[in-house]
Structure 1
């Protein structure tokens, strides 16, 4: 048995890398929420690379592992489209394959060429991971869902350095930790066989970076000076997606929304938040609908931030969020969604490939919003400009950053998670709001049509969430919370908010340097 294992160690390592990577990758994210899996998710492949696989084996194993892991992670997409689930998980799996191929190439040329070559390898493979995450955020209109940094959403101590280098730096630090631990594990195996001690600089670099981005950042959390912001209400109607646009049910839907909102009035909120596309008709462009919601806001004597469609004309429609004020009515400006979901809110290349409408029968394209359009909440003591993100937009760091740069005192995320049923999508989506809160040091208030609703402070702590008696998020109801903020960040911007994705450019440079160093060397790995 021992001889067989030695003779087949590369195949065993290949199978182990495939299985363990899927387990760790899936386990690191909601709903399983084992963030420590992010510390080891890349180690199985990094160790297998040292056992002599071919480039073809690496490519196919990486593609299949990535495809299966992502198929499980975004299985909730099956509620909308099975074909989309298969294709999208394959595309994201392709990015993991590219990381495997690039890292394997670096390992073939750098490792075994002296202990110090471990540094450009570890930095290069970590930079490659960040570069591919960034590319995933814009290729084919972008799907930056669940970056490695999102695995740490429930560990705020891991996220505080995002104020400097954004969530990209957290992903880099985790990838570097994987590379350093893998190198140290191989060093221990080598020592047990040969009794030869070797220096492992990448491991110590990984520890330095890990400590720098965690324990040294506790100074941000300590010494908070919190002040009350407002008392906010979250109204969650839980309208099933197959009923949302059914004209025969519109009266029933409006009655449910009104009932839930009126139940919140005795709690004396300063404002009420509704989720994305709450109403069955647009507010702007439909005078009856506008009069209905203005009457409701006046009745409860509370401003309503309402998600609903916008009809500027018969042809021009937006997905928007309005501010409806008691007595004064609809605020003249509204927020229009800036990043639309392809094949959900519009069909790409409709004019070039008109046949695609037969596969994705969307009646008409929504138009893309242009600006951040802050909505002002006026209270007796202050006015707070609220930056809005609609649904999918909070997975794009640049959108929250632009709203903060324009003066947003807090961020509001309105979403319609009923598309994906009672699934992990709600929790995975919420994890991105945690990252946006820390990056910009802004409170994030989220309201979903059917979960997740709650608010997150500037340090990534989930302060409150809307739960029923059984502790579940999927139900029709609402509540109010006292929302506060740290005065130290009032009117201030983080380094990341000011400079943006500068660290991605650093990673491109680090990857280029590692590649140039690697080009100096040729040959196979040395065990």
Structure 2
């Protein structure tokens, strides 16, 4: 009897130890996947890892319940988000006057929320496992959730998997049809194909099919990229000479009135220097003018005199305020202004997509302890019209900062007639972190999606130029004064993506929803058969 009891306890102990080992092995795989995810983006740029980064995550959820899978996926998303966007803490502490511990707590809340998408990803995989072939559904579900992340509750389309390939233009050219989502799909397809071929319990024939489909998809995408890029150099394109000015103004003094003249003098000096290159247009960064251009008469006149002396068009960022009817309150807009060579105001654009935590606080009731980090006057409001401006015979549009991460928003400017895109931004909020490099990398996809060259002016960097194929023509160092000038081509075509937008992403959403419905129907059918 004692021997039997001892044997039973031994078996239970071994079983518990085995379950613990399995649990920690799964957490280890999830951590490995999150680490790979972090390394595929700037500043590391180990983009090759993207093609295998999710294999450990897929392996970790094998033989788990949907509930267990959700936790593992959420943990992967949590760790990956913290590792890629930890720099939001810098903005909160340095410019939001938020205590360090509250800033870290806010990052954890943000990462926890964004981790829900990764949790949903693997939860859906487990829910439809053994009911619907998963090989093609894995990338479709992932893309559907990336797309949702740009629109639901807390829009934050940062760190899409496709962005990791920005230095590999032969792969990214499909974005002119699918947007960045097509590149994300391709990367996840390879992950799914490798997992299916190496680790899944499907038949040998199914494994071979997975490898063949994966290889064909990569070959077709690379072949299309090679075809597009080989024809790029043969095009005779009309160009426009654009100069960008990087003032390198410390964020701590940017809105201090004592430094207003110093800031204006800095931009005047740099613009006068680059004007010797005879650019058609000079571009200053987001909120480069530290005053209300339409209301502050003295600095306004200085700007007018400057642009007359430069004898060229000037596009600059600044603030605009409007009174609220019937009250003493007012709203402010983050705006861009275009001045003609004679000093006349030719156009104004009000930023449409605001920055979370910078210009508004998401989940304000929950995060009541956080103020807006921006020092803009009044409540920041979103603009409503994607403006197209004109300098001589060149039609162009400007997108401001965070807006450049929204593919469907940017394409609307091009669809309305813009032949050049300007991006003005101020990434000084995030200190000496990877934020600026990550932000710059996303702009390459906006160029490809619309086959439109981009000039980018950033307060502390990265400023630069990108050709219509997403290739970086020139870029500045960070945290230095800089002036760059380049002849960039005018858009000569309209892409499928510009015309139709996120059709590919919608297809993935429909496929994901269809898979869920089919899985539910199959489960109910089998339940009925058992009865």
Normalised by the length of structure 1, the TM-score is: 0.87
Q: Counterpart of 2:340?
A: 325
Q: Counterpart of 2:354?
A: 340
Kept in 1: contact 2:65–2:126 (CA 8 A): no
Separation in 2, partners of 1:16, 1:198 = 31
Task: Note the C-alpha offset of 1:297.
Answer: 0.8
Q: Counterpart of 2:42?
A: 30
Task: Determine which of 47, 58, 70 is the counterpart of 2:59.
Answer: 47
SS in 2 for 1:310: strand
Distance change in 2, residues 1:452/1:360 (3 Å): closer
Task: Determine which of 167, 186, 204 is the counterpart of 2:212.
Answer: 204
1:15 aligns with 2:27: yes
1:291 aligns with 2:301: yes
Task: Determine which of 105, 116, 128 is the counterpart of 1:106.
Answer: 128
Task: Determine which of 457, 461, 482 is the counterpart of 2:487.
Answer: 482
1:149 aligns with 2:157: no
Separation in 2, partners of 1:513, 1:312 = 47
Kept in 2: contact 1:393–1:399 (CA 8 A): yes
1:222 aligns with 2:230: yes
Please give the residue correspondences for 1:444-483 in structure 2 after superposition, counting only pairs within 5 Å.
444-467=454-477, 473-483=478-488
Distance change in 2, residues 1:197/1:370 (3 Å): closer
Residue segments in structure 2 that go unaligned for 5+ positions in a row: 1-13, 93-102, 324-328
Task: Note the C-alpha offset of 1:506.
Answer: 1.0
SS in 1 for 2:237: strand
Task: Note the C-alpha offset of 1:464.
Answer: 0.7
SS in 1 for 2:135: helix
Distance change in 2, residues 1:20/1:354 (3 Å): closer
Q: Counterpart of 2:135?
A: 122
Distance change in 2, residues 1:90/1:47 (3 Å): same
Q: Counterpart of 1:72?
A: 83
Residue segments in structure 1 that go unaligned for 5+ positions in a row: 111-116, 468-472
Separation in 1, partners of 2:367, 2:228 = 54
Distance change in 2, residues 1:355/1:17 (3 Å): closer
Deviation per CA, 1:358-398: give whole Å up to 9, x if none: 755776212221111111011xxxx1111110000011111
Separation in 1, partners of 2:66, 2:463 = 46
SS in 2 for 1:319: strand
SS in 2 for 1:216: helix
Kept in 2: contact 1:177–1:206 (CA 8 A): yes
Separation in 2, partners of 1:451, 1:325 = 26
1:377 aligns with 2:378: no
Q: Counterpart of 1:183?
A: 196
SS in 2 for 1:474: coil
Separation in 2, partners of 1:387, 1:359 = 31
SS in 2 for 1:144: coil
Kept in 1: contact 2:245–2:270 (CA 8 A): yes
Task: Note the C-alpha offset of 1:30.
Answer: 0.8
Distance change in 2, residues 1:516/1:357 (3 Å): closer
SS in 1 for 2:252: helix
Separation in 2, partners of 1:165, 1:404 = 16
RMSD: 2.6
Q: Counterpart of 1:470?
A: none
SS in 2 for 1:222: helix
Q: Counterpart of 1:518?
A: 519
Separation in 2, partners of 1:233, 1:443 = 14
Task: Note the C-alpha offset of 1:85.
Answer: 2.1
Larger displacement relative to structure 2 (441-450 or 287-296): 287-296
Deviation per CA, 1:252-307: give whole Å up to 9, x if none: 22222222222212222222110000011021222223211111111111211111
Kept in 2: contact 1:228–1:482 (CA 8 A): no
Distance change in 2, residues 1:515/1:55 (3 Å): closer
SS in 1 for 2:447: helix
